[in-house]
Structure 1
Amino acid sequence: MNSFDFYNPTHIAFGEGKIADLNKLVPAEARVLVLFGGESARRTGTLDEVTTALGERQVTLFGGIEPNPSFETLMEAVAQVREQGVDYLLAVGGGSVIDGTKFVAAASVFEGDEWEILTQGGRNIERALPFGSVLTLPATGSEMNKGAVVTRKSLKAKLPFHSNHVFPAFSILDPTKTYTLPLRQVGNGVVDAFVHVVEQYLTYPAQAPVQDRFAEGLLQTLVEIGPQTLAEPENYQVRASMMWTATLALNGLIGSGVPQDWATHMLGHELTALHNLDHAQTLAIVLPAMLRERKAAKLDKLVQYGERVWNIRDGSAEDKAEAAIAKTEAFFESLGVKTRLSDYDLGEQHIEPLIASLESHGMVKLGEHGDVTPEVCRRVLQASL
């Protein structure tokens, strides 16, 4: 196990009816901007529940944050914060809304070109407005971490940033708020959480049995409850398990002291930026081919993954590794998330622009060993056709 610093200050309020806790979680004198996505938050009554819980505080709204939050839209929110003297933000939605709120929190008090927050990966963030979140779509873990991803449509660029200044002060997790989600979003959420765990776990042995067993437990849970989340939308215990698993998948704990990959995510970001695919769809396309391409380097952990998560006992190490990848691919498909570029009408002609975009963003040495080059990514995409 490597040395590490683990820090996570986010207060989690978990359970049905916890939105009422906003009255004690948000400072009484706060001037609050509530940020949300489409009209589902209003249609389901969640937005009304939130504003009621905020009581007599000064509250304004900002809607329209996209599933892949855009720099352009978020800068409109920044302008509203500055014009209205807002001093507290509240995200109501899934990972995209929370990611966008993190950017607004930092950009609203940033001196200089706000796009540099993304180009510098958040290293230049010195402070941010405080904010909390009400999670309605479990998937990304953004509700309990310091990272976010933002797309600049005009540049077709999707870039991540991280900073200790953008941890949510609190996040409310009420599983009942997931009951009305479209099945596509539910399946995407399971895939997203699954790949988050894989990117921190499926690298090479690092003598970190606690992190390994924790990660494997989360993966096993997702395999077990994934189909149930689709089949039983109002099963509270299943949705509660899904919500908490997705949060734990990327709150920093299982990645502490171990090597991490993230090549699948970086290549996936390019697919989203250029072709507007759902984030989880890109992960389901890239991961199986990425694992096959890098099977030799990941063989020990692939075998461990196959044995412990999928109970694969027969065959050689190579056989077990391939069976584990096939099981992963089939799991994604069973959730309604397709795993080939051709499933989304993308072909050979789309590969070179994706590689060029990857190179333009400096993503030329990816993976836990820094050996995932553009040529490796090209082969991965070709294998994903």
Structure 2
Amino acid sequence: MKPFTFHNPTRIHFGADQIARLRDEVPAGSKVLLVYGGGSIKRNGAYDQICAALSDCSVTEFAGIEPNPEFETLMKAVTLGREQQIDWIIAAGGGSVIDGGKFIAAAIALDPALDPWLIVGNKIKLERALPLGAVLTLPATGSESNQASVVTRRATQDKMSFKNPLVFPRFAVLDPSFSATLPARQIGNGVVDAFIHTTEQYLTWPAGALIQDRLAEGILQTLIEVGPTALAKPEDETARANVMWAANQALFGLVGLGQPQDWATHAIGHELTALYGMDHAQTLAVTLPPLLRATLADKQAKLAQYGRRVWNLQGDDASVAEQAIVATQDFFERMGVATRLDAYGVDPADAAQKVAEQLTRHGRDKLGEHGKLSPADCARIVAAA
């Protein structure tokens, strides 16, 4: 197990009626920018609860953050925040809104003479960011309690991430009741997203991080158990609560401690989203199975462990590893997330060429836990999707 340091400063308020805790978290008199997406928080009741909890604050609203938050949109929020001299950000919605909130919190505090796009890709050192709170209504990314954000720039078809401890949310409210009205597509996407966040930190090679292995396996088994129930019976409170907590814990920071990590599936997936507008989870679902097959020699020991512990498969390592890939792909399909590019109207050959070009342009030429997946290797993975 590799050396590690762990620090997660986000306070989590989990359960029903926890939005009221905003009154304790945000100082009275604060100038708050409330950011959200398409308006689902008004339909599910979260908006009214947020406004009530922030009644002692001055609240300015910014709506319309996209499912893959766009730089162009976020900069409008930054301009508004600067004009209103905002001193707190509250992001209410799913991971994309919270990712957008992180960028807004950093960009408002940035020297106006600097290009905010430099934040993305960690091309500039952040000195400060506005305090940020998150109200989660769509479980998937774990963005509500981590330091990562992904932003898309529509004009250049770039989808890139940045990480900085200054954008950890100060607090996060996780109320599973708000996920009861989610459409099936978002439930399936959320489960698949959380599942692959976990495998990116787990399906590499055995590193002696035994506790982290069991944490990963527990999250995966939980998603396999409750994901189909949440999809078929959205009124099932236990299933919804466990999906929300599993998605949070997948990227809370504990699973990957001391572990080699992969993230090539995400690197490829980000390019597919930028190129074709596919949902984030859809790109992961089409990429992971062929990636696992392409890297089977390196991942066989961990895939066999995964197959035995998570899927209860039997046989020698080679057989169990291959069966585990099939079981994983079947699970994504059961969650309603197709695992072939042609199901999304995308030609695999065209995608393979374009993804390789984008990865090369972004300098992503040494992907995977061993740093040996080239853009050409990734093109072959996409072509097999």
TM-score (norm 2): 0.98
Residue identity in the other structure for 2:268: L
Residue identity in the other structure for 1:288: P
* Rounded Cα–Cα distance in structure 2 between residues aligned with 1:204 and 1:68: 31
Residue identity in the other structure for 2:142: G
Shift in Å at residue 45 of structure 1? 2.3
Residue aligning to 1:374? 375
* Rounded Cα–Cα distance in structure 1 between residues aligned with 2:107 and 2:12: 25
Name the SS of the counterpart of 2:212 in structure 1: helix
The number of equivalent residue pairs is 382
Name the SS of the counterpart of 2:47 in structure 1: helix
* Rounded Cα–Cα distance in structure 1 between residues aligned with 2:122 and 2:130: 19
Shift in Å at residue 29 of structure 1? 2.2
Residue identity in the other structure for 1:96: S
* Rounded Cα–Cα distance in structure 1 between residues aligned with 2:171 and 2:376: 42
Residue aligning to 1:86? 86
Structure 2: which 5+ residue stretches go unaligned?
A: none
Shift in Å at residue 235 of structure 1? 1.3
Residue aligning to 1:345? 345
* Rounded Cα–Cα distance in structure 1 between residues aligned with 2:133 and 2:253: 18
Name the SS of the counterpart of 2:3 in structure 1: coil
1:107-256 to 2 correspondence within 5 Å?
A: 107-111=107-111, 112-120=114-122, 124-256=125-257
Pairwise CA RMSD of aligned residues?
0.9
Which deviations, in whole Å up to 9, do the C-alpha atoms of 1:107-138 show, x marking residues without a partner?
Answer: 111121100111336x6122100010100000
Shift in Å at residue 318 of structure 1? 1.4
Q: Report if the CA contact (8 A) 2:146-2:169 is conserved.
A: yes
Aligned residues with identical type, % of pairs: 54
Structure 1: which 5+ residue stretches go unaligned?
A: none
Name the SS of the counterpart of 1:158 in structure 2: strand
1:358-369 to 2 correspondence within 5 Å?
A: 358-369=359-370
Name the SS of the counterpart of 2:298 in structure 1: coil
* Rounded Cα–Cα distance in structure 1 between residues aligned with 2:313 and 2:216: 17
Name whichever of 290-299 and 40-49 sits farther off: 40-49
* Rounded Cα–Cα distance in structure 2 between residues aligned with 1:334 and 1:364: 33
Name the SS of the counterpart of 1:326 in structure 2: helix
* Rounded Cα–Cα distance in structure 2 between residues aligned with 1:89 and 1:27: 12
Q: Report if the CA contact (8 A) 2:29-2:56 is conserved.
A: no
Name the SS of the counterpart of 2:16 in structure 1: coil
Name the SS of the counterpart of 2:296 in structure 1: coil
Shift in Å at residue 308 of structure 1? 0.4
Name the SS of the counterpart of 2:91 in structure 1: strand
Shift in Å at residue 349 of structure 1? 2.3
Residue aligning to 1:45? 45
* Rounded Cα–Cα distance in structure 2 between residues aligned with 1:145 and 1:296: 32
Shift in Å at residue 199 of structure 1? 0.1
Which deviations, in whole Å up to 9, do the C-alpha atoms of 1:261-305 show, x marking residues without a partner?
Answer: 000000000000010000000000000000000000001001000
TM-score (norm 1): 0.98
Residue aligning to 2:28? 28
* Rounded Cα–Cα distance in structure 2 between residues aligned with 1:375 and 1:308: 33
* Rounded Cα–Cα distance in structure 1 between residues aligned with 2:204 and 2:351: 28
Residue aligning to 1:68? 68
* Rounded Cα–Cα distance in structure 2 between residues aligned with 1:61 and 1:172: 19
* Rounded Cα–Cα distance in structure 2 between residues aligned with 1:73 and 1:241: 33
* Rounded Cα–Cα distance in structure 2 between residues aligned with 1:168 and 1:88: 11
* Rounded Cα–Cα distance in structure 2 between residues aligned with 1:366 and 1:354: 13
Name the SS of the counterpart of 1:251 in structure 2: coil
Which deviations, in whole Å up to 9, do the C-alpha atoms of 1:17-49 show, x marking residues without a partner?
Answer: 111111111111211010000021122222121
* Rounded Cα–Cα distance in structure 1 between residues aligned with 2:257 and 2:145: 15
Residue identity in the other structure for 1:203: T
Residue identity in the other structure for 2:231: L
Residue identity in the other structure for 1:71: F
| Pair 1:356 & 2:321 matched | no
Residue identity in the other structure for 2:44: T
Name the SS of the counterpart of 1:256 in structure 2: coil
* Rounded Cα–Cα distance in structure 1 between residues aligned with 2:239 and 2:341: 31
Residue identity in the other structure for 2:232: A
Name the SS of the counterpart of 2:160 in structure 1: strand
Which deviations, in whole Å up to 9, do the C-alpha atoms of 1:350-381 show, x marking residues without a partner?
Answer: 32112101111111101111011111101101
Which deviations, in whole Å up to 9, do the C-alpha atoms of 1:238-281 show, x marking residues without a partner?
Answer: 11111111000001111111110000000000000010000000
Residue aligning to 2:274? 273
* Rounded Cα–Cα distance in structure 2 between residues aligned with 1:159 and 1:168: 20
Runs of 4+ in 1 over 4 A off after TM superposition: none
Residue identity in the other structure for 1:309: V
Which deviations, in whole Å up to 9, do the C-alpha atoms of 1:203-256 show, x marking residues without a partner?
Answer: 001011010011101100011111011111121111111111100000111111
Residue identity in the other structure for 1:275: Y
